[in-house]
């Protein structure tokens, strides 16, 4: 009899951890199982039985269908999503950190006013502004483009606030020393502050990544077709038809989730740390 | 002098992009919302002129039973989901903070729902909720006997609870991670001291862990509540606010009025009301919790 | 920084605008499984015929079609030709988004259209032609012969001997008693609060002498919430309370897949699925006779319209006349199971001609079809009515109160738009 060495006090927590893991994994297992079954009729029949959680067939037919459907061009949706997410993150981190650095370390008189503006906008629920934003986008002729999906994420009061908190804790001597060495204000930001703020950057990047990758309401209103639509909207279009083909829907779902899970596996350590810190210090 | 002004010009150049976009994205739309709420603005231009109509939108809004239902649904959702989700998150955090084997694997698994887009989660749960033979009903039949089923999202009395469970499943890892951080910030020697005093594990939780999480709890209570008040995506895809308005939330109502039926003026009145309500709730919570903490 | 931004915006503007090159037509179509083969065929044959003359056609199926049209309208960037759902034409025409097509289409074709199809495309007091549909549609009761016979229910075959309300109630009760029947009647509650609720349920109301709006005064109060409508919907609500109606979350396939529903009240787009699922057990039963007006069938559907922004009119003309040619109209019907919209095409059709299995649809289109109101307020009318129907069928809800609320919503919208001039003047 082999014994797995488990500390005495850990048996109960381990049991609970197992239940928790099952609660998370079972629905996901079902998603994968259905996605591997090309037979819609069989999916319907086995739904609810144990067979909907343990794959009986391993067919990639649904995946091939989803990836090669000419009306729902998956590669295009994926590219759109990647482009929008990437551009937004890049611009957002640049703009918000620059502004936060000025607020934390600058000398401008307007800083107080800007700070009030930022704190006030923190309180405005973004969802209540989508209609005027939509009208503005249509007046600006931006509907159905990448920009209209990128711009709303580039200035983010929460990011500015998080950067601000970090930058205002930078040691005064460090900034002073750089200034004496002849660094301009921008150079101090670029060569002193930014290299030190990797943890903050990754925290903000991770949070915004999830927000943009999963965005739904705004993209559905501002895009007219596959040209600029992201995955999330395409997914709900699949889902919205009357005769839902569950195999295809689940194959789409898995395909959409995998890039995020990969991103997570690569960034796991920073990811957990960043979400943790965003909360407590935020 | 010239150096200083050059440096200040640099500062201005660094500050402006974010400020301009914040003004364009938040301040201007907010001002527009207030303006639209006093007009009969439509989404797509009409061949008749848009008029200023005073408080008509607000009066109609207060007169519409569906609006009040939407408010009640939103409040109900928040009241249900906040304690439920925070309890799950805290429980999960306590488990995953304990010294168990494969802890990092369990942590990675627990985080998965946070990574999935809400559209994907809704698709999964739509299958779980299916009648009469979806997995949840299969489990239900285990207890209630075969032939019985619950129309989880199609029955007005269970629809909101179903949305609560789905939402908690979808987002609990976020709160869990913040709880984990909070747990790690509690000094270990407090536990040692409690152990020396002979405190049982429940007592250690009650007198060391719980007080140690006070700030985390306040923070999570506020952000989870505000998040709950914005409930939309799940409802919009899964139930479209039905059955019989049972899952129509304020944002869903706003979307129906302003986008589906294009009454931007009217929806703006709803938006202004929503903004005031959320701000008031956030301020009240903060004040109340601060006072309680100081007392 | 700023300059790059402007450059970016300008560049994007160039990329996004799909302003038509002469000879290059783009048509947006709905993304439906059953229509897909037809649209592929349309694009191929059109290009084979006109490509050499320098006119090419690009047919683009668009998922989430309504949202896409909304976004494109806001962007003022619609393609040369779009598809619209027939009853929404008036609202789009009133807003000035589409242009009259009377001059773009061969008068012979217009003269040959089914009367109800012509009505569906004719807008406003001036009676201009804005919209043309290649097909007509209808609702009937689809039945599972094996189950109906087992329950000992009479199966009507002609409009004259359609079930009365009482007979249908009786049939449902008998069917519900069969062990293999879970819910006897599928009325497509899974379609949700959308156009189907008007398309599918207003005929039942009209059969009982009701309607959803007064078509001369354009007032909803007194019509949509009339005693007749309350009676009709109370009846259906009772069926639902008796658990005779397939609930929304039970899915689409109870009738044709699992065969636990014996009747399905739905339009002819389900024909292919029904035929495949039920085979020889499939029977086509005329709409029930709910009261004063006899059986009523829905009609109309998606068709072609030309945005005001479209300037490539010579090519659009080619397209419209090609898509509405009798061969293409017939091809649409053959592929999708819909009724051809041209009178001359019906006798030619194997399905819908004399003695054909779909003869009943052609008969219904002739005797019993009521056009959905052609009025710019239609989006509000249909949303108010369908919301009321869905609510009424969600449980124990006061029918009259729901309909009163719908009446108020509709009349308020019409007042808010000054009666939608030139209507109501």
Beta bridge partners of C142: C264, C284
* Touching subunits for chain B (3+ Cβ pairs under 8 A): A, C
Q: Is residue C11 part of a domain?
A: no
What's the CA gap between B160 and B78, in Å, rounded?
11
Pair C125, C44 in one domain: yes
- Cross-chain Cβ contact C1/B13 below 8 Å: yes
Record: contact B48-C417, CB cut-off 8 A: yes
Q: Do both C199 and C251 map to the same domain?
A: yes
Structure tokens at C282: 């499939």
Rounded Cα–Cα distance for residues B200 and B197 (Å): 9
CATH code at position C114:
3.40.190.10
Residue C2 falls inside a structural domain: no
Q: How far apart are CA B200 and CA A237, in angstroms?
A: 54
Query: What fold does the segment set B64-294 form as a domain?
Result: MetI-like fold (1.10.3720)
Which member of A44, A240, A244 has the closest CB to residue C257? A44
Q: Give residue-wise pLDDT tens across range A133-181.
A: 998 998 888 888 999 999 999 999 888 988 998 898 888 899 999 999 9
B145 has pLDDT over 70:
yes
* CB–CB contact A132 B30 (8 Å): yes
Q: What pLDDT does C14 receive?
A: 39
Average pLDDT on B251-261 reads 87
Q: Taking phi first (over 0 means left), then psi (-120 to 50 degrees means alpha), and beta for anything else, what does residue C242 get?
A: alpha
Q: Does residue A52 or residue B115 have the better pLDDT?
A: B115
- C412 and C276 share one domain: yes
CB-closest option in C97, C249, C412 to B129: C249
For residue C196, the model assigns a pLDDT of 93
Kindly state the average pLDDT of the residues C112-127: 89
Rounded to the nearest 10°, the torsion over CA C384, C387, C389, C395 is: -140
Mean pLDDT confidence for A226-252: 79
Give the domain extent around C96: 16-136+300-356
Residues C286 and C379 in one domain: yes
Dump pLDDT digits (tens) for C153-206.
999 999 999 999 999 999 999 999 999 999 999 999 988 878 999 999 999 999
* ipTM of the prediction: 0.84
Regarding whether C259 and C178 lie in a shared domain, the answer is: yes
C421 part of a folded domain: no
C330 and C378 share one domain: no
- Verify that C228 and C146 share a domain, yes or no: yes
Tell whether C361 is covered by a domain: no
Residues in chain A with CB shorter than 8 Å from the CB of B278 are 123, 125
For C383, name the nearest residue in chain B, comparing CA atoms only: B261
Closest of C156, C144, C214, C154 to residue C184, by C-alpha = C144
Q: Does some domain include residue C391?
A: yes
Residue for token digits 């800007």? A114
Q: Would you state the pLDDT for residue A280? A: 44
The alpha carbon of residue C37 and the mean position of all alpha carbons in its chain are separated, in whole angstroms, by: 20
Q: Is A38 on the interface with B (CB under 8 A)?
A: no
Chain C residues whose beta carbon lies within 8 Å of the beta carbon of residue A137: 74
My answer on whether C111 and C221 are in the same domain is no
Mean of pLDDT over chain C: 88
Residues C258 and C400 reside in one and the same domain: yes
Same domain, C312 and C292: no
3-state DSSP: chain B helix, strand, coil percent, rounded to 5? 75, 0, 25
Q: What is the pLDDT of residues A175-205, one digit of tens each?
A: 999 999 999 999 999 999 999 888 788 878 8
CA separation (Å) from B73 to A14, B79, B84, B275, C398?
37, 10, 16, 17, 20
Candidates C12, C15, C68; nearest CB to A224: C68
Chain A positions in Cβ-Cβ contact with residue B43 (cut-off 8 Å): 131, 134-135
Q: Domains of chain A, with CATH numbers?
A: 8-59 (no CATH), 68-281 (1.10.3720.10)
Number of independent structural domains in chain C: 2
Full-model pTM: 0.84
CB contact A107 to B (< 8 Å) = yes
Q: What is the pLDDT of residue B291?
A: 59
Which sequence spans correspond to the domains of chain B? 64-294
Give pLDDT, residue C29.
Answer: 93
Give the B window 251-270 contacts with C, CB below 8 Å.
259-261
A touches which chains (3+ CB pairs under 8 A)? B, C
- Model confidence at A11: pLDDT above 60: yes
Q: Is B130 within 8 Å of C247 when comparing Cβ atoms?
A: no
**Identity of the residue in B132, B156, B240 whose CB atom sits nearest the CB atom of C192:** B240
With bands split at pLDDT 50, 70 and 90, how would you rate the model's confidence at B292?
A: low
Cβ–Cβ below 8 Å for C417 and B46: yes
The answer to whether residue C41 sits within a structural domain is yes
Q: Using a CB-CB distance cutoff of 8 angstroms, which residues of chain B are in contact with residue C249? A: 129-131, 151-154
Across the A/B interface, how many CB contacts are shorter than 8 Å?
291
- C-alpha distance from A278 to closest chain B C-alpha (Å): 8
How much is the average pLDDT of C110-130?
90
Task: Specify whether the backbone of A245 is left (phi greater than 0), alpha (psi in -120 to 50) or beta.
Answer: beta
Residue at C244 is within a domain: yes
Nearest-CA residue of chain A relative to C63?
A: A237
- Model pLDDT, residue C4: 41
Categorise residue C395: left if φ over 0, alpha if ψ from -120 to 50, beta otherwise.
Answer: left
Element (H, E) at C128: strand C128-129
CA nearest to A232 within chain B? B119
Angle, nearest 10°, between helix axes C399-416 and C227-241? 130
| A131 vs A244: CA distance, rounded Å | 30
Q: Are residues C245 and C394 in the same domain?
A: yes
DSSP string across C163-210: PBHHHHHHHHHHHHHSTT-SSSEE--GGG-SSHHHHHHHHHHHHHTT-
Cross-chain Cβ contact A234/C8 below 8 Å: no
User: Which residues of chain B make contact with C383, given a CB cutoff of 8 A?
Assistant: 260-261
% of chain C beyond a pLDDT of 90: 60
Residue C71: pLDDT band (50, 70, 90) is confident
Compute the distance between CA of residue C268 and CA of residue C281 in angstroms, rounded to an integer: 17
Name every residue in C having a CB less than 8 A away from some CB of B: 1, 70, 73-74, 94-97, 182, 192-193, 247-251, 379-380, 383, 390-391, 394-395, 397, 405, 412, 416-418, 421
The closest of B242, B262, B263 to B252, measured between CA atoms, is B242
- Which chain B residues are Cβ-neighbours of C1 within 8 angstroms? 13, 17
Which residues touch C41 (CB under 8 Å, ≥6 apart)? Answer: C331, C335
Please report the sign of the dihedral spanned by the C-alpha atoms of residue C103, residue C106, residue C112, residue C116. Answer: negative
pLDDT tens-digit readout, C307-337: 999 998 999 999 999 999 988 998 888 888 8
The answer to whether the CB atoms of A240 and C74 lie below 8 A apart is no
Residues C125 and C146 in one domain: no
Contact C229, C205 (CB under 8 A): yes
């Amino acid at each position: 009899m082999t014994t797995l060495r488990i500390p005495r006090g850990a048996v109960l927590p381990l049991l609970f951890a197992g239940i928790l893991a099952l609660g998370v994994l079972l629905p996901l297992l079902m998603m994968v199982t259905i996605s591997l079954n090309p037979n819609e009729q069989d999916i319907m029949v086995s739904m609810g039985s144990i067979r909907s959680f343990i794959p009986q067939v391993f067919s990639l037919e649904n995946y091939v269908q989803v990836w090669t459907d000419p009306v729902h061009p998956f590669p295009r949706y994926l590219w759109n999503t990647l482009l929008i997410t990437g551009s937004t993150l890049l611009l957002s981190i640049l703009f918000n950190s620059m502004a936060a650095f000025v607020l934390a370390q600058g000398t401008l008189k307007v800083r107080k006013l800007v700070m009030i503006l930022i704190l006030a906008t923190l309180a405005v629920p973004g969802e209540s502004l989508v209609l005027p934003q939509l009208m503005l986008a249509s007046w600006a002729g931006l509907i159905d483009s990448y920009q209209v999906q990128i711009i709303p994420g580039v200035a983010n009061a929460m990011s500015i606030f998080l950067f601000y908190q970090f930058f205002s804790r930078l040691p005064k001597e460090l900034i002073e020393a750089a200034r004496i060495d002849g660094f301009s204000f921008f150079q101090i930001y670029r060569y002193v502050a930014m290299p030190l703020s990797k943890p903050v950057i990754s925290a903000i990047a991770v949070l915004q990544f999830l927000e943009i990758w999963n965005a739904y309401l705004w993209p559905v209103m501002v895009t007219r077709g596959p040209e600029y639509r992201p995955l999330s909207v395409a997914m709900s279009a699949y889902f919205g038809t009357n005769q839902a083909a569950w195999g295809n829907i689940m194959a789409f779902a898995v395909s959409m989730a995998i890039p995020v899970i990969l991103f997570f596996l690569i960034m796991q350590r920073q990811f957990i740390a960043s979400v943790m810190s965003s909360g407590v210090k935020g | 002098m010239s150096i200083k002004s050059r440096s200040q010009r640099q500062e201005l150049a660094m500050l402006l992009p974010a400020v301009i976009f914040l003004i364009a994205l938040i301040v201007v739309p907010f001002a527009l919302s207030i303006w639209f709420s006093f007009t009969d603005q439509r989404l797509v231009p009409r061949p008749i002129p848009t008029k200023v109509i005073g408080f008509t939108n607000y009066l109609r809004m207060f007169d519409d039973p569906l609006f009040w239902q939407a408010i009640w649904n939103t409040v109900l959702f928040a009241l249900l989901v906040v304690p439920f989700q925070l309890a799950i998150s805290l429980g999960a955090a306590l488990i995953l903070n304990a010294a168990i084997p494969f802890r990092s694997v369990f942590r990675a698994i627990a985080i998965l729902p946070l990574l999935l887009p809400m559209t994907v989660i809704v698709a999964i749960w739509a299958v779980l909720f299916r009648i009469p033979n979806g997995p949840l009903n299969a489990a239900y039949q285990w207890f209630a006997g075969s032939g019985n089923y619950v129309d989880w999202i199609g029955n007005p009395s269970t629809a909101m609870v179903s949305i609560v469970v789905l939402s908690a499943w979808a987002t609990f890892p976020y709160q869990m991670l913040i709880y984990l951080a909070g747990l790690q910030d509690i000094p270990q020697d407090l536990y040692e001291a409690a152990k020396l005093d002979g405190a049982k594990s429940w007592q250690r939780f009650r007198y060391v862990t719980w007080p140690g999480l006070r700030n985390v709890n306040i923070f999570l209570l506020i952000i989870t509540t505000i998040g709950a008040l914005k409930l939309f995506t799940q409802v919009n895809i899964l139930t479209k606010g039905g059955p019989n308005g049972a899952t129509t939330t304020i944002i869903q109502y706003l979307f129906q009025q302003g986008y589906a039926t294009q009454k931007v003026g009217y929806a703006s009145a709803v938006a202004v009301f929503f903004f005031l309500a959320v701000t008031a709730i956030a301020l009240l919570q903060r004040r109340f919790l601060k006072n309680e903490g100081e007392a | 920084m700023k300059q790059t931004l402007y450059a970016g915006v300008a560049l994007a503007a160039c990329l996004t605008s799909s302003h038509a090159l002469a000879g290059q037509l783009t048509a947006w179509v709905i993304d439906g499984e059953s229509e897909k083969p037809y649209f592929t065929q349309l694009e191929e044959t059109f290009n084979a015929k006109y490509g050499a003359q320098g006119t090419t056609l690009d047919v683009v199926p668009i998922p989430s079609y309504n949202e896409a049209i909304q976004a494109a309208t806001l962007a003022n960037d619609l393609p040369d030709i779009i598809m619209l759902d027939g009853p929404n034409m008036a609202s789009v025409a009133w807003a000035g988004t589409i242009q009259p097509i009377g001059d773009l289409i061969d008068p012979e074709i217009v003269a040959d259209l089914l009367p109800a199809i012509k009505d569906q495309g004719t807008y406003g007091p001036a009676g201009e032609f804005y919209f043309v549909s290649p097909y007509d549609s209808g609702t009937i009761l689809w039945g599972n012969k094996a189950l109906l016979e087992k329950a000992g229910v009479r199966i009507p075959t002609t409009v004259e001997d359609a079930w009365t309300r009482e007979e249908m109630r009786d049939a449902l009760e008998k069917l519900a008693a069969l062990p293999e029947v879970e819910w006897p009647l599928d009325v497509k509650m899974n379609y949700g609060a959308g156009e189907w609720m008007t398309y599918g349920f207003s005929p039942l109301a009209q059969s009982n002498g009701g309607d959803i709006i007064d078509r001369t005064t354009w007032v909803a109060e007194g019509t949509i919430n009339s005693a007749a409508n309350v009676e009709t919907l109370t009846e259906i609500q009772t069926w639902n309370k008796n658990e005779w109606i397939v609930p929304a979350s039970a899915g689409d396939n109870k009738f044709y897949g699992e065969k636990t529903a014996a009747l399905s009240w739905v339009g002819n787009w389900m024909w292919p699925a029904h035929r495949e699922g039920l085979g020889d057990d499939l029977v086509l039963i005329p709409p029930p006779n709910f009261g004063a007006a006899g059986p009523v069938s829905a009609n109309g559907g998606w068709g072609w319209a030309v945005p005001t922004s479209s300037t490539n009119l010579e090519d659009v003309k080619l397209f419209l006349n090609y898509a509405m040619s009798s061969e293409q109209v017939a091809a649409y019907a053959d592929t999708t199971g819909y009724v051809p919209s041209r009178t001359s095409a019906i006798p030619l059709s194997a399905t819908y001609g004399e003695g054909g299995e779909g003869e009943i649809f052609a008969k219904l289109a002739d005797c019993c079809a009521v056009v959905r109101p052609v009025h710019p307020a239609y989006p509000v009318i249909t949303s108010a009515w369908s919301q009321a129907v869905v609510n009424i069928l969600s449980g124990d809800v006061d029918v009259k109160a729901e309909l009163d609320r719908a009446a108020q919503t509709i009349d308020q919208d019409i007042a808010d738009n000054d009666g939608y001039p030139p209507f109501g003047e």
